[in-house]
Amino acid sequence: MSDNTFISTDDTRTLFSQAMSAMYQKEVPQYGTLLELVKEVNTHVLSQDGTIRRQLGDTGQLNRLDVERHGAIRVGTPLELATLRRLFAVMGMMPVGYYDLTVASVPVHSTAFRPVEEAALAANPFRVFTSLLRLELIEDDALREKAAEILAQRAIFTPSCLKLIEQFEENGGLTPEKAQEFVDEALFTFRWHHEATVDEKTYDSLRKAHPLIADVVCFKGPHINHLTPRTLDIDLAQSRMPQHGITAKETIEGPPRRVCPILLRQTSFMALREPIFFKNQDSGGGTHTARFGEIEQRGLALTKAGRALYDELIAQVREMTRGVNKDMYATVYQDALNKAFEQFPDSFEILRNQGLGFFYARVNHDTLAAKPAIAAQTWDELVEQGYIRFDPITYEDFLPVSAAGIFQSNLGSENTEKDYKLVSNQAMFEEALGMKVRNEISVYAELERNSKLDALKILGLSAD
């Protein structure tokens, strides 16, 4: 079979993310409302703000905005995680980054499956935050063994799905027809199931150990627990939520509002307390909170130095808000955040000059046509003379502290203050995954480097 009979992994990813969005809209109607709100806000921002419109256009993000989503799932065993790695590869998604959530009392570690190349990101940056339960953190031996036993019995992928993954791996691609079949089959894994696979007593004891353990262990599969659209103005979206009947959490996670957005800002709301049915139970049942709503605004990807400064300022905010009582918290937090981030430059030019963020180098073809004999020696001179423009590279990943805040605000309040003794264990996660995760900073560095090499080539200059 020749290569051009295969659909691109980008197209399979788009088919899948659209199918997942349609499925989630049916499962969680409020998600549909959220999509409308985000669309309304984005249309408003694009009509008001020419700079954002140009920047998104120049970095290939105008088209992707409408399809841009991230989802999240949680799995229970190394085999489930490793098979997900193979499933996501069919859609051109690689594991990027390692997140240790035990620091926030959540017994999982995670990665994000996402595309990494510039063209693939422009086509559709669909990402799935994927967590693996750390069973070893359940202290009670009997309960831990019981959880492992329950997980060992389930099969979260359909046989056809597994077969299509194998076909992809053997042939190096799927035909459009097979890709559609793959999407339908893969979707099964992420569906919500009202029937728990355990009886009420087992559910309760696992839930008591940690609500997340019950969420992972007691169902047929790793239901998608949220699907997040990207807004261009999260404050505006948040302020319009009540008009749409949505009550968001009080504070927005991540950096404060800025002229030049950095990293990621997120807010979420409880979506559903869903009725569930237990095994061996004819009537009644219980409820489970698994699914929620979330929106996010994305900004500049930071270099190692930029990220270190961000982490330092967030630590300062934590100091400033320690012990503040609940009623005052949102206000004090907001002030502390604004105050601390005065130390983070808020101009793209300064951020670039200080090496705090990553940027795409773009050639201005008009300048090149008007002045083809280039005398500039440095990047700064190329910028000054109008040959080159630097546009911010968007952060495509997650923030563990935000993720923890999101986890906690949606699990229900009971019993989530655990002091887990085990330290982060990337090696153990990678062994389960079956490969190493890509370091996110090096992914952005490569995007920047490639754009510079391309630009130099267009300008007819050498790369040294």
Binding string to Ni ion for residues 228 to 267, with x set by CB under 5 A, is what? Answer: x---------------------------------------
Q: Closest-CB residue for ligand OOG?
A: 403
In the list ligand OOG, Ni ion, none, the entry touching 74 (Cβ below 5 to 8 angstroms by class) is: ligand OOG
Contacts of 222 (CB under 8 A, 6+ apart): 73, 74, 75, 76, 80, 156, 189, 190, 216
Stretch that binds ligand OOG, among 143-151, 173-181, 322-330, 401-409 (CB under 6 A): 401-409
- Cα angle 376, 378, 383; round to 5: 75
Report the residue number, 74 or 307, with the smaller CB distance to ligand OOG.
74
Closest by CA to 251, choosing from 405, 421, 371, is 405
Looking at residue 439, the DSSP 8-state letter turns out to be P
Minimum CB–partner distance for residue 268 and ligand OOG (Å): 8
Binding flag, residue 72, ligand OOG (CB under 6 A): yes
Out of 21, 225, 267, 297, which residue is the one contacting ligand OOG (CB under 6 A)? 225
Of these, 131, 189, 267, 303, which contacts ligand OOG (CB under 6 A)? 131
Report the nearest approach of Ni ion to the CB of residue 453 (Å): 34
Span 232-291, contacts to ligand OOG by CB under 6 A: 266
Q: 124 touches which of Ni ion, ligand OOG, none (CB within 5 to 8 A by kind)?
A: none
Which residues, including other chains, have CB under 8 Å from residue 276's CB and lie 6 or more apart? 194, 195, 196, 285, 286, 287, 288
Among ligand OOG, Ni ion, none, partner that 297 touches (CB below 5 to 8 angstroms by kind)? none
CA 145 vs. chain centroid, Å, equals 31
Task: Name, in order, each residue with C-beta under 8 angstroms of 343's C-beta and a sequence gap of 6 or more.
Answer: 309, 313
Q: Which is nearer to ligand OOG, 233 or 294 (CB)?
A: 294
Minimum CB distance to Ni ion smaller for 261 or for 405: 405
Q: Which is nearer to ligand OOG, 211 or 306 (CB)?
A: 211
406 touches ligand OOG (CB under 6 A): yes
Which residue, among 233, 397, 393, has the nearest Cα to 300 in the 3D structure?
A: 393
* Structure-derived torsion over alpha carbons of residues 91, 96, 98, 104, reported in degrees to the nearest 10: -70
Instruction: Note whether 231 binds ligand OOG by CB under 6 A.
Output: no
Q: Which of 38, 214, 224, 403 binds ligand OOG (CB under 6 A)?
A: 403
**CA–CA separation, 452 and 431 (whole Å):** 35
Nearer to Ni ion, 64 or 70 (CB): 70
DSSP letters for 378-414: SHHHHHHTTSEEEEEPBP-S--HHHHHHHHHHHS-ST
d(CA 429, CA 94): 15
Task: Choose one: 156-164, 191-199, 402-410, 422-430; the region binding ligand OOG (CB under 6 A).
Answer: 402-410
| Closer residue to ligand OOG in complex, CB, 121/403 | 403
CB of 55 to ligand OOG, least distance (A): 23
Token look-up 């359909």 returns: 158
Residue 16 interacting entry, from Ni ion, ligand OOG, none, C-beta within 5 to 8 Å by type: none
The reply to whether 17 sits near ligand OOG by the rule CB under 6 A is no
Q: Which is nearer to ligand OOG, 394 or 402 (CB)?
A: 402
Would you say 195 and 220 are in contact if contact means Cβ atoms under 8 Å apart? yes
CA distances from 87 to 48, 72, 80, 128 (A): 41, 15, 10, 12
- Site size toward Ni ion (CB under 5 A) is 2
What is the rounded CA–CA span in Å between residue 92 and residue 333?
Answer: 39
Closer to ligand OOG at the Cβ: 278 or 398? Answer: 398
Place of tokens 């559910």: 203
Q: What are the phi and psi torsion angles at 168 (to 5°)?
A: -60, -45
Contact set with ligand OOG (CB under 6 A): 72, 74, 129, 131, 225, 266, 294, 398, 402-403, 406-407
Contact set with Ni ion (CB under 5 A): 228, 294
